[in-house]
Structure 1
Amino acid sequence: MIVVHSEEHRAQAGRAELNDGQLVPCYEKPARAEIVLERLRAVGLGPVVEPDAHGEAPLARVHDRGYLDFLKTAWDDWVAEHGDIDALPLNWVAPGMHRRVVPDSIDGRLGYYSFDAGTPITAGTWRAAAAAADCALTAAARVAEGERTAFALIRPPGHHAGRAFYGGYCFLNNAAVAAQALRDGGAARVAVLDVDYHHGNGTQEIFWERDDVLFLSLHADPRQEFPYFSGHADETGEGRGAGFTVNLPLPWGTDWTAYAAALSVAAARIAAFGPEVLVVSLGADTYVGDPISRFRLQSEDFLRLGEALAAMGRPTLFVMEGGYAVDALGVNVAHVLTGFEGA
């Protein structure tokens, strides 16, 4: 299995995030990717390669141009106003406010383009996010060229980033960028399966009205869990996309038995759709020891997950998303990939 990875991920190293009413050290940190890379090398999964540069055109196929320009300039504008401290938003648009006009103030623009206060913009945010997207695009190209599978080992993650918003540690939606590139490269149908603990609200928003990209997500019930306002079972798409979004919310405490049952529902829908490529948003925060999640998957269950994904029988691109039990993260991610390879 080819692993695509860039050391540029280290450029995104926030100092603090707002969590449960406190500023705490960021859960999404460079050590996450480093420990996964160390484990993949230890098990000899496959070659680790640098990404090719793809430029901004593939990003603009998924993201709003004004949003991309904001991400590129936000840090400099923030420092000019506030100095060298992490940029976090203070307020957001609420229902009933007159209309959405992009503010001139950097404080206003942070609130305009974000949906939480847990995702700091730093000096290296754009560099790291753009490199992550390049990794996903490079891995997608390898699959399009005939590889059975490839893994984009990246951070920051992407599945919470929408067409014109960031949050949940995500700035560019790497899985969506890759899925769109696969479509542009000739794949008639692409499925994106999100197995992160949290709902992939950004990916859903991007493909909400599309019938050429099937989006499926297994995640914690939004009545209980972040991002709260997206991911209910009755959210199934609109317009041409009606029926091409599949949400399978699960309660706190979900173990492998319940998770596998939901995964089988997703597998049947994928089989019926018949995608030429499967993109997996691979979050490992479903692990029982994850500090910000409440599912109960054990490490050995990630082997079973990999085997189940392989049984879907599609060329598969894995794109790294969440997982914050750092000590176990390398083992769990490696289990998914080796389970897939051995199936």
Structure 2
Amino acid sequence: MKVIFDEKQRLHDPRFRLQDGKVILNTDRPERVAELLKGAKNAGLELTDSVDHGMAPLAALHTPRYLAFLRTIYDRRKETVPDLEEVVPSRISPDRKVHYSYETEAQIGYHNADTSCPISAHSWNAIYWSAQTALTGADAILAGETRCYALSRPSGHHAYPEVAGGFCFLNNSGIAAEYLRAHGHRPAILDIDVHHGNGTQGIFYARDDVFTISLHVDPAGFYPYYAGGAQETGEGRGFGYNLNLPLARGTDTEGYLKALDRALEQISAYGATVVVVAQGLDAHEDDPFQGLKVTTEGFARIGRAIGSLGLPVLSVQEGGYMQPCLHANLTSLLGGLQSA
């Protein structure tokens, strides 16, 4: 089994985060990379470099104006703010079905859902290669690999077609799934992050050619708050092709696996030919977000359950933040996946 990664993904080093009225250090630290690589190595994975697929697979899901914004906004903003460290919105657009302004501050507010996605001088390089990492993992599946892990960082499942949020800029799991679909597969995206994959849901909500499933803490009292209810099942051709399984905060491994069984049953019924796992590790009992109570050994059981479908699996890294068990949780999940 391969782990795909590009060193340029370490370049995104966000500082700003607003929490309870205070500015604190952003949770998505580049130090996560070392822990995740350690976990992959301990699981026996072979490190492989990411390959550049260009902009077209990114633009299959994200609008040209959004991609141009991500690529240029830091330099454009710095022209008017010479001492700029990071691009962070000072306002958020209340309605995106409005006139689109090319003024920098207006664009910053339009293309952000919250303040958790600061953009600094080298962020675009990391964002771009995070998506290329997921695409390289998809290529490995197309070449015949049955398991592959894409260490995509920054994460992606909160990213909409032209809105960043929740540490996410490009929807890496969605980009990989769309790429696999375009190359003949029938993908299901299984999101096991502690937070609802609201961006992924938004991208595919009216489609029936990619089945989207998310297990997460009930958003009534947990990020992203405004999406992820069980009643959200898709619209138009996509009606019935989006499955949300919200869990009570503090749900343990047994409760999680019970919900996962329902997800896997529907993936099988969909006739999926590949599973893209939006692989969060933040469901762990010691994760800083304290949403669920999955144990380290529980991740191995999750991996074995997913693997029991008998389908190729591309795992794309989402959340999971600095804590002593981070690398062990990844080793456990990947080990379970490989043993199935």
State TM-score, norm by structure 1: 0.96
SS across alignment from 1:327: coil
SS in 1 for 2:130: helix
| Correspondence list, 1:144-163, <5 A | 144-163=142-161
Task: Structure 2: give runs of 5+ residues left out of the alignment.
Answer: none
- Shift of the 298–44 alpha-carbon distance from structure 1 to 2, 3 Å rule, reads closer
Q: Deviations over 1:296-330 (max 9, x none)?
A: 11111111111111112110000000011332211
Counterpart CA distance in 2 for 1:7 and 1:24 is 26
Superposed CA offset, 1:217-253 (max 9, x none) = 0001110100100100000111110000000001111
**1:17 alignment partner, SS class:** strand
2-structure distance, mates of 1:100, 1:184: 32
Per-residue CA deviation, residues 132-185 of structure 1 (Å, 9 max, x unaligned), is 111100110110111111000120000000111101000010000000100111
Corresponding residue of 1:30: 30
* DSSP 3-state at the match of 2:31: helix
1:127 aligns with one of 125, 128, 150: 125
Q: Give 1:269-308 correspondences, 5 Å limit.
A: 269-308=266-305
Residue 44 of structure 1, CA deviation: 5.0
The answer on 1:223 being equivalent to 2:195 is no
Within 5 Å, give how 1:243-282 maps onto structure 2. 243-282=240-279
The gaps in structure 1 that reach 5 residues or longer are: none
Aligned 8 A contact 2:43 2:331 in 1: no
Aligned equivalent of 2:72: 73
Q: Distance in 2 between matches of 1:126 and 1:45?
A: 31
Displacement, 1:104?
3.1
Alignment of 1:1-343 (within 5 A): 1-41=1-41, 43=42, 45-82=44-81, 83-94=83-94, 100-187=98-185, 189-343=186-340
Distance 2:323 2:134 in 1: 22
**Residue 10 of structure 1: how far off its partner (Å):** 1.2
- Measured in 2, the distance between the counterparts of 1:154 and 1:215 equals 19
Code of the aligned partner of 2:137: A
The question of whether the paired residues in 2 share the 8 Å contact of 1:159 and 1:201 is answered with yes
CA distance in 1 between partners of 2:146 and 2:105 (Å): 45
| 8 Å Cα contact 2:39-2:329 kept in structure 1 | no
Letter in 1 for 2:116: G
Aligned-residue offset at 1:51: 0.8
Alpha-carbon distance in 2 for matches of 1:301, 1:19 = 30
Instruction: Tell me how far apart the structure 1 counterparts of residues 249 and 196 of structure 2 sit (CA, whole Å).
Output: 13
Aligned AA (2:15): R
TM-score, normalized by length of structure 2? 0.97
Q: CA deviation at 1:125?
A: 1.4
Letter in 1 for 2:138: A
Q: Answer yes or no: is the 8 Å Cα contact 2:217–2:248 preserved in 1.
A: yes
- Whole-angstrom CA distance in 2 between matches of 1:316 and 1:234: 27
Runs of 4+ with >4 A deviation? none
Write out per-residue CA displacement over residues 93-131 of structure 1, whole angstroms, 9 at most, x where no aligned residue: 226x9x522223322111101101111111111100110
Q: Secondary structure at the match of 1:335?
A: helix
1:46, CA displacement in angstroms?
A: 2.1
SS at 2:331 equivalent: helix
Letter in 1 for 2:231: D
Which deviations, in whole Å up to 9, do the C-alpha atoms of 1:232-279 show, x marking residues without a partner?
A: 000011111000000000111110111111100101100100111100
Instruction: Write the distance in 2 (CA, Å) between the matches of 1:178 and 1:158.
Output: 11
Range 159-168 or range 293-302, more displaced: 293-302
Q: Which one-letter code corresponds to 1:160 in the other structure?
A: H
1:50 partner amino acid:
D
Give the drift of 1:79. 1.5
Give the conservation status (yes or no) of the 8 Å contact 2:192–2:216.
yes
Alpha-carbon RMSD: 1.2
Q: Distance in 2 between matches of 1:44 and 1:118?
A: 31
